[in-house]
Amino acid sequence: MREILRLKRLLNAPVSERPPSERCEFCGLAIPETHSHVVDLEQRRLACACRPCYLLFQTSGAAGGRFRSVGERCERLDAAGLDLDTFEMPIGMAFFIRNSKSNRLTAFYPSPGGAMESALQVDAAVPVEADIEALLVYRRKGAAEAWIVPVDACYELVGRIRRWWRGFDGGHEVNEEIERFFANLHEHGSVTCRT
């Protein structure tokens, strides 16, 4: 009986809602929830970074060219000036990143399963800096908008879609979250990344 009571007390104990502190993946310094990122060009992944480490990798030759700080530019483009048909987007949202190693433009589609890489060969003039910026295109209700954003903003959007997706079509909540993301771009010209 004592064991059952002890187990009940343990199960009913308050759980701390504070997530464990994030750390810079380069120096180990504790970093806030909203922080900068660096692209590992060899492993094709994002690494969380404190501000000093982020600044260290801003030049393209830093660390022998292996690491690059994610761009900070958020700029709305004239979607009418882009020939969106050349992107062959089968769905209403995609982001495009130029890989500096292959000099190839790759399309990714946000989905509840993560960022799905397209097998389509996209050959379009996209005014983004390779590896650290992306062209984000969103078509809905006969209108389209296009943005140059940091690559981590695209993965922030993917994370929101994964978190809020419900059922077959995503549901109302994921659509609200997507609209919040783009409203923040319109209002502030930036995206807060927490990934």
Q: Which of 33-47, 58-72, 75-89 has the lowest mean pLDDT?
A: 75-89
| Average pLDDT over every residue of 71-75 | 91
Taking the C-alpha atoms of residue 95 and residue 71, their distance in angstroms, rounded to an integer, is 15
Q: Say what the pLDDT of residue 77 is.
A: 86
Do 105 and 97 touch, CB atoms closer than 8 A?
yes
The answer to whether residue 90 is domain-embedded is yes
Residues 55 and 101 in one domain: no
Please, what is the average pLDDT of the chain?
A: 83
Residues 85 and 165 in one domain: yes
Residues 34 and 126 in one domain: no
The answer to whether residue 6 is domain-embedded is no
Q: Say what the pLDDT of residue 86 is.
A: 58
The region that residue 65 occupies, defined by phi over 0 for left and psi between -120 and 50 for alpha, beta otherwise, is left
Share of the chain above pLDDT 70, in %: 77
pLDDT, tens digit, 9 for 90 and up, residues 120-177? 666 667 789 999 999 999 988 778 888 999 999 999 999 999 999 998 888 899 999 9
pLDDT higher than threshold 90 for residue 119: no
Residues 137 and 52 in one domain: no
Q: What residues make up the domain containing 178?
A: 75-188
Compute CA distances 50 → 32, 58, 194, whole Å.
Answer: 9, 13, 13
Q: Say what the pLDDT of residue 18 is.
A: 44
The residue out of 69, 90, 106 marking a domain boundary is: 69
Q: Say what the pLDDT of residue 17 is.
A: 45
Residue 70 neighbours by CB under 8 Å, 6+ apart: 36, 37, 38, 39, 46, 54, 132, 150, 151, 152
Q: Say what the pLDDT of residue 126 is.
A: 78
Residues 80 and 172 in one domain: yes
Into how many domains does the chain fold?
2
Q: Say what the pLDDT of residue 46 is.
A: 95
Confidence of residue 195 (pLDDT cuts 50, 70, 90): very low
Q: Say what the pLDDT of residue 23 is.
A: 94
Residues 146 and 90 in one domain: yes
The answer to whether residue 164 is domain-embedded is yes
| Average pLDDT over every residue of 7-15 | 57
| Average pLDDT over every residue of 89-113 | 85
